[in-house]
Chain A
Amino acid sequence: MRFPSFWISLLLLILGFLVYWPLGVVAIFLAALYHHFIPAIIYGAFMDILYGPPPVFLHFLHIPFTLLTVVFVVVILFAERILRRRKSAATL
């Protein structure tokens, strides 16, 4: 059976809104890790809409969760690329 990553990330996001907000960040990371990039961006955007920009510290970021999602996506894509290259080099 495949790991239900999308549904688990969605559940974590909902729990983040209802109980403890850092679970939302975990949901974004999980969605990005399992290549659900569009849902991950939507999660980040939804968190930004709900929580608004940071009040004082990091206010300049304006949409911190969406930006964090972009960072996650980019880092995961780059990490996979590097790993794939290393693997192909090792095979050769």
Chain B
Amino acid sequence: MIVPKDTRGRYRSRISLRVFLFIVMVLVIAFVVFMGRGISGYLWKGLAVLSPVTGGIGSGARAVYAELESKPGLLAENEALQSQVAALQSELTDYNAVIEENIELKAQFGRLDSAQSAILAGVIAAPPRTPYDTLEIDAGTDEGISVGDLVSAGNGLLIGTVDTALSSSARVTLFSSAGETQQGYLRGSTPVTVIGQGSGSLTTTIPAGINASVGDVINFPGIAGDVSEVVSALEAPSGNSFETLYLHLPVDPYSLRFVSVRLTAAQ
């Protein structure tokens, strides 16, 4: 078959474009696979410089949203929040007394938590700036952080573990990351396996006989009794032998500015 000259030329240029695209793809993929994580820490540090800009965009969006909300609705919400604060303050008084007693008892048996070393790290990026329910923090192996270190939001509220540790930054995978599983104890006694669902939510199942309720906590295994999740809703279909609990992290990961990393390598 005789192919006209200009058609052949167009065909050749189309083939060469595809070959060029393929070569670029292979080079880019190789670069990302072999060099990617090494430079991500520096990129995040660079983006952290722009955090005032992002903060400005966020607060601007919040201001617009607040303007759109109705005044009576805001007043009602304000009243509800004030009563909630009062209730929480009275609960906190009891909680502090129990904490003090707990520390005293541990000290008597030689199991004080102060032996555990931890460092404070700033959050460079959190969801929704990052995918997969992860946090980027500004401390890494130079500060003693290693993969698997537990991360807390302070006061025994665990939120995740260190997933990747670079020299000056690290990535924290929240317990709520999709597919992440973790053992715990419902109200400190019933063993459960908690599975992350993404976007700060988690789920677990318990036998129907256990009377769980909204607000119950999941304690992380260990003497410290750290809280890792809180029950936010439950589903108990009649006649079913299991109940499904829907959980959330004890703090809002979207608003975290600092976290505490418990160093396992130092122990």
Contact = CB atoms under 8 A, between A and B. Distances in A.
Interface of A: 17-22, 37-38, 41-42, 44-45, 48-52, 54-57, 62-63, 66, 70, 73
Given A41-B28, A55-B180, A49 B40 contact: yes
Contacts, number: 88
A70 B25 contact: yes
A37 B103 CA distance: 60
Which DSSP category, helix, strand, loop or mixed, fits chain A's interface?
Answer: helix
Interface range for B:
35 or more
Given A50-B43, A62-B33, A17 B28 contact: no
B128 A45 contact: no
A66 B58 CA distance: 28
Contacts of B28: 41-42, 44-45, 66
Given A18-B53, A41-B24, A56-B177, A49 B43 contact: yes
B171 interface: yes
B196 interface: yes
Given A18-B57, A63-B29, A52 B40 contact: yes
Contact of B132 (A44, A54, A62): A54
Interface in B127-185: 128-132, 134, 163-164, 171, 173, 177-180
Contact of B44 (A38, A42, A50): A50
A44 B177 CA distance: 21
B15 interface: no
Given A17-B47, A51-B132, A45 B31 contact: yes
Given A41-B24, A55-B173, A56-B173, A18 B180 contact: no
Contact of A66 (B32, B43, B53, B129): B32
Contacts of A49: 32, 35-37, 39-40, 43
B21 A55 contact: no
